[in-house]
A = this chain, B = another copy of it.
Amino acid sequence: MTRARRSDALSRERIVEAAVELLDATGEAGLTFRALSERLSTGAGAIYWHVANKDELRGAATDAVVASALAGVGAAAPREVLRAVGLALFDAIDEHPWLGTQLGAQMSRTPQGPTTPRLLEAIGRPVSALGVPEAAWFTATSTVMYYVLGAAGQNAVNGRAGSAELDRTAFLDAAATAWEELDADDYPFVRRVAAQMRDHDDQRQFVDGLDAVIAGILALHPPGR
């Protein structure tokens, strides 16, 4: 019943864990050395003993979530594994909305960091198991990865306070309505497709697209016999 107070020593692991919680609770802009040090009952500067700077902290938080999401993916047929990897990331973004915009930026900024190889390995193994010729492994895997990252970034919902489901409906409806009011000459396609977007199911659309990407890769890089 006492007030929360320091029980363990500080460690990189505890800091990253707290950063994830803070990001979940307050979003991208809420991750602050001051807020984080308060949550850890320590001084702002103490964090710098374990983490070089804010970029590294964000990167570590991103990687921790990705690692834990991918850990749940089991062995199966290549196509199933690819779907499972994609959906694991999809679910992770649902739980940690900040991940969507963070993931792509993180990976392009520091491909030497842990997250890029982690995701590349998770996608590349099933892609190679599909029978794609080795010369095309990197290209084929990158194609899937680009698709997954693009979808991830796009499906990051803004907040999670209250009913996420209602928020999402209102959000999509507002966008669809705006689309329907666009100029008829400049935006015929968008106007025509606005209703489809209002009613679409994120997850189903994601899996459909992923299946298409896989089919296309196999068509362009057919397994040798």
Copy total for this chain: 2
Known contacts A150-B151, A219-B212, A220-B215; A190 and B108 CB within 8 A of each other: no
| Contact (Cβ within 8 A) A112 B175 | yes
A13 part of interface (Cβ distance < 8 Å): no
Contacts of A192 in B (CB 8 A): 134, 137
- Residue A69 at the B interface, CB < 8 A? no
Residues of B within 8 A of A186 (CB): 121
Tell me if A111 is interfacial: C-beta within 8 Å of chain B.
Answer: yes
Looking at the complex, which one of B105, B124, B151 makes contact with A146 (CB distance below 8 Å)?
A: B151
**B residues less than 8 Å from A105 (CB atoms):** 101, 105, 153
Q: Is the CB of B100 within 8 A of A193?
A: no
Interface pair A117/B187, CB less than 8 Å apart:
yes
CB within 8 Å for A138 and B108 given contacts A146-B151, A220-B212? no
When the two chains form their complex, are residues A101 and B104 in contact, meaning their CB atoms are under 8 A apart? yes
A158 at the B interface (CB under 8 A): yes
Chain B residues near A26: list those with CB within 8 A: none
Q: Mark A151-172, 1 if CB is under 8 A from B, else 0.
A: 1011110100000000000000
Residues on A lying within 8 angstroms of B by beta carbon are 100-101, 104-105, 107-109, 111-112, 116-117, 120-121, 124-125, 128, 134-135, 137-143, 145-151, 153-156, 158, 174-175, 178-179, 182, 186-190, 192-193, 196-197, 200, 205, 208-209, 211-217, 219-221
Q: A124-B193, A143-B212, A146-B151 are in contact. List 12 more A-B contacts (CB 8 A).
A: A108-B153, A125-B188, A142-B154, A143-B208, A145-B154, A146-B209, A147-B150, A147-B213, A211-B216, A212-B216, A212-B219, A213-B216
